[in-house]
Structure 1
């Protein structure tokens, strides 16, 4: 249950990370506007409360730089702003802290409504690697564009400039993490940066070509792009199937656990009901044992994370000793953190869980500004049933949240080996996010109340580095060469 309190889950990080750019002009219907004075007041409130609430607001950005940006941003607010514009202006300050959980809530609902109403968007999905942008999927009406072609400029602006501009609106510890988020949301960020546009002039360098082409792309609706995607060669989809367990031809077991929460919550079920996940995981491991599997690949690529209530069900099958997903979990007490926890318990004490009550007990003897340590009992290996074969966790740049914690736990306790590419999400991070609402605009702000250090005690803000690196192609195809490489590694490793 701890990761519910400390991790970036899919709802709170990836699908909820899009921030509106202040220059956005396209809206489904007229938005309410806020007087400049109200937005300036909320800018001041935002900064003051983040200073009081965040565990260490200046861990990565000096206070002098944040102070200067705060002054500049509030000075620039001279006219009324829509909600999206106000969110964007406020997010520029929050994102400058370079902490994933120090952030202003974004405009995903506005984007979804825009698309549902037939709004036009940039018709290319992208892959970002080492500061370069490539076409991942061509959803345009220009069939000559192919996955792997490099995008050099959009509307006369080099992609390096676009990346710098858009990263400013993303709360992320590193540019690599911001870019991994942009791979999900590039059309949205481009939309909020430029407003609704009928077309984009793109300079593209086809793979293998020496001379770039200039192509005018007609902006397209979501329906049109979905129709096009069905007529083009498919790309690798790590979300399908959601969960998978099978034995491969060479006897290597393969497990894709899927997100560490109850996916059925989309249809009204309890998001934290672990019963169906436990049934799947227990059945998978029993099947592996019955079929004599001695080497198992656990695929965490593209995994959004979730809650250790779920992931411990899996890890306990192969853990060789008691474990915890952190070596240190320190919390900075603040009035907003105490209030958020109290309100969560008041709304639904059962859903809030034991961890919220544990926070409440700690807060009862602390005062704002105190730093307190959270301790928890160790998670335990299965007593009667265990998988004793070798374990390999496959990760990538879009392994997030609790999935990163799982990989770090496997690596730090020696439960298995990590394969793939480094995660962009952090193994040691400022987390345990809480929220408060700004009084004038009603905009929601998230802040990290805790510093959570990975099991091996490494305090550096960095992802999980694989024990064995696997090269990733620019565009990943359905034959999944990365997985095939991982299978060869596992198959060659003697049981």
Structure 2
């Protein structure tokens, strides 16, 4: 459907910023920040050009340097520096707003507005509405957005996607869709209303003043960790992160879960880490693998690391790049009264990352479970030990940098991206669809 010219003009008018112009940084300050960024990466990362290649890595800095020759605001500077994020191809390496959560809250409290929908980017690179901002229901759910304020959605996705950090284009799409409101605001500015072409209609929609789901969703323990017995005696253990201030509470929770499996006589366990962005390996080693491991295991094989201040081992000095092998094997506990010897499936998805990838690698390589879901989002050879103290001296933007690279337990580097044993599509509108599809799959059939 063609959008009338007057509506396109209205959309353009809606893009006028709501607040006064922000402070600007001089070219000298911006160049200083760029140099600081490069030094932070190269003093921390053992292989800075690991996923970009040296030529693309060097070129990314040259392009950024050429664009910092005039005064820029903080957001403008971020747009220049963040253009390097896709080149790095690593969700553990990038230029980010360290305070984007609090900054968003302050923006809303001051009367600012945000794009009014939670969205998804489907397999055809179409922008679709999932819900109202914050997760509330919307009559427009499922509709494709073809145009926003006079700009084609394809162009918007291309421009915003060029600023996102992450392992792959698919991974970056998933991060972008969950923070679309943030990237839109930081790239195009805040507006009071939006003119949308959605589902073949032209709609006038007011901007939203509610917290996005990514912020409103700072979940409680009960929302983060769940266990239930499904019909047919199948256990479903949902672990949305491997980080919690009180780890013992998590261990008590998983002990109750495996007690429930035993008492129910369950023969199948599904462990859902589709939304697990990582945390600490000891949480899955102690909280999960102690109950399902039946042989010695390790979480990786070979590694390369940069020795940092306060982390030097025997014979190491700060600045060294050290390679080695993971020789710490964890012994199984097959005699544990809650040991589970039935079928185990781990559900993976577009948010499975960091320590959750290491968990997936470990259960897959050692045969403790079969991976189920969609793959191709993240590298199995993971970076880690992320250092977050690198704050640019002038703009205050942050450079997140890892200090090591770890190969999976088997040592294999192909396939390079996480690949499930059973590939099943996920449904962003129905998170239970994957569970139902797996239970209908021959692999999950009980003998």
Q: Please, what TM-score do these two structures have when normalized by structure 1?
A: 0.77
Gaps of 5+ in 2: 1-14
Shift of 1:197: 1.0
1:248 pairs, out of 230, 238, 250, with: 230
Secondary structure of the structure 2 residue equivalent to 1:222: coil
TM superposition shift of 1:40: 1.1
Give the counterpart of 1:283 among 256, 269, 279.
256
Whether contact under 8 Å (1:54, 1:102) holds in the other structure is no
CA distance in 1 between counterparts of 2:205 and 2:229 reads 44
Describe the SS at the equivalent of 1:136: strand
- Give 1:89's match in structure 2, choosing from 80, 97, 118: 80
Whether 1:368 and 2:319 are equivalent positions in the alignment is: yes
**What residue is the counterpart of 2:430 in the other structure?**
476
Indicate which of 405, 426, 433 corresponds to 1:451: 405
C-alpha displacement at 1:252, in angstroms? 1.2
Question: In the alignment, which of 312, 315, 330 is matched to residue 289 of structure 2?
Answer: 315
Deviation at 1:275, TM superposition (A): 0.9
Provide the residue aligned with 1:198 in structure 2: 192
C-alpha displacement at 1:476, in angstroms?
2.0
Please tell me whether the aligned partners of residues 135 and 151 of structure 1 are also in contact (alpha carbons under 8 angstroms). Answer: yes
> In the alignment, which of 429, 432, 444 is matched to residue 385 of structure 2?
432
Q: Which whole-Å CA distance do the structure 2 matches of 1:239 and 1:217 have between them?
A: 35
CA distance in 2, matches of 1:40, 1:461: 39
CA contact (8 A) 1:25 1:194 kept: no
Counterpart Cα distance in 2 of 1:474 and 1:95:
24
CA change 1:50–1:259 in 2 (3 A) is closer
* Contact kept in structure 1, 2:31 and 2:68, CA below 8 Å: yes
Deviates more, 1:379-388 or 1:88-97: 88-97
The answer to whether the aligner puts 1:419 opposite 2:372 as a matched pair is yes
Q: Secondary structure at the match of 1:68?
A: helix
- Residues 189-219 of structure 1 deviation map (CA, whole Å, 9 limit, x = unaligned): 11111111122222223xxxxxx22222221
User: Aligned partners of 2:226, 2:376: CA distance in 1, in Å?
Assistant: 22
**Structure 1 residue 376: Cα displacement:** 4.8
Change (3 A) 1:85 1:249: same
| Residues 373 and 366 of structure 1: CA distance in aligned 2, closer, same or farther (over 3 Å) | farther
Which whole-Å deviations, capped at 9, do the CAs of 1:51-77 have from their partners, x for residues lacking one?
Answer: 443222223334333333323322322
Query: More helix per residue: 1 or 2?
Result: 1
Q: Distance in 2 between matches of 1:90 and 1:199?
A: 29
Q: What is the deviation of 1:34?
A: 2.7
CA distance in 2, matches of 1:49, 1:285: 44
Unpaired runs of at least 5, structure 1: 1-23, 206-211, 230-236, 263-270, 343-358
Aligned-pair Cα RMSD in Å: 3.1
- 2: distance between equivalents of 1:127 and 1:465? 22
Query: Which secondary structure state, in structure 2, belongs to the residue aligned with residue 152 of structure 1?
Result: strand
* TM-score, structure 2 as length reference: 0.84
Assess if the C-alpha contact under 8 Å between 2:94 and 2:401 holds in 1. yes
CA distance in 1, matches of 2:88, 2:126: 25
Change beyond 3 A, Cα 1:184–1:37: same
Please state how far the C-alpha of 1:474 moved relative to its aligned partner: 5.0
Contact 2:438 2:444 in 1 (8 A): no
One of 206, 220, 224 as aligned partner of 2:208: 220
Partner SS state of residue 96, structure 1: helix
Secondary structure at the residue paired with 2:182? helix
